[in-house]
Amino acid sequence: MRAKCRCDYEIAVTGPTHLALGVSAVWLLAPIPGALSHGPQAGAANPALLTLAAALGALLPDLDAQRSTIRYLRLDLGRGRRLRPFEPVAALVSRTLGHRGPLHSLLGIGVVWLLLGLPTLLWIGWQPSAAFALGMLSHLLGDGCTKSGVPLLFPRPGRRHLLPPSLRLTTGSLAERRLLALLAVPALLMPLSALLMLLSGIL
Ligand SMILES: [Zn+2]
């Protein structure tokens, strides 16, 4: 008999869907002059940098989960050495805040933006800072469409849902797989444009 999981990871949007949603959201910046640049002087508007910033933002709220893509993200340092850079902070955050607690609210991601996004804006540029914010907002959007909802307006009590009950997502459902397929194209176009930019500089 299958053990019953008490964590609500089972009814969360999966990491790949969060990533696709977050990276796709970067295209919202495209109409802003100077937001995305493909030339050798792209600087902070480099699509690769924006992809990384949005991906981090899209995964970061799940630091409060007992199991999540960001918690178990593994860096291979070579010679068999591996590092999970987010695991210590995820262990601390999940223990103190709990899954889908304050870190899944507008207030929570606002605080995270002040800690990480504001220094990025001041020292690197507004574009990756905006991509990071869009990534985090997309996470709330994704989880807000699930059956669990999110405490969007914390410290106000209660979870908010962004879809009517019949349309709310469950993990791995056909609806989520369709959403992932839909988002895969715009999400892949962002790093692809960074690759084309790199190749145009080489060739
Ligand atoms: Zn989440």
Q: What is the pLDDT along the chain (203 residues), one digit of tens a residue?
A: 444 444 444 445 688 889 999 999 999 998 898 888 776 677 888 888 999 999 999 999 999 998 888 998 888 888 888 899 999 999 999 999 988 899 999 999 999 999 999 999 999 999 999 999 999 999 999 999 988 899 999 999 999 999 899 888 887 778 778 887 788 878 788 777 777 766 665 55
Cβ atoms of residues 67 and 57 within 8 Å: no
Distance (angstroms) between ligand 1 centre and the Cα of 62 equals 5
Q: How many residues does the chain have?
A: 203
Q: Which residues pair with 103 in a beta bridge?
A: none
pTM of the full predicted structure? Answer: 0.84
Q: How far apart are CA 92 and CA 136, in angstroms?
A: 20
CA distances for 76 relative to 58, 70, 160, angstroms: 22, 15, 38
User: What are the boundaries of each domain within the chain?
Assistant: 14-62+106-202
Distance (angstroms) between ligand 1 centre and the Cα of 143 equals 6
Q: DSSP secondary-structure letter at 33?
A: T
Distance (angstroms) between ligand 1 centre and the Cα of 100 equals 6
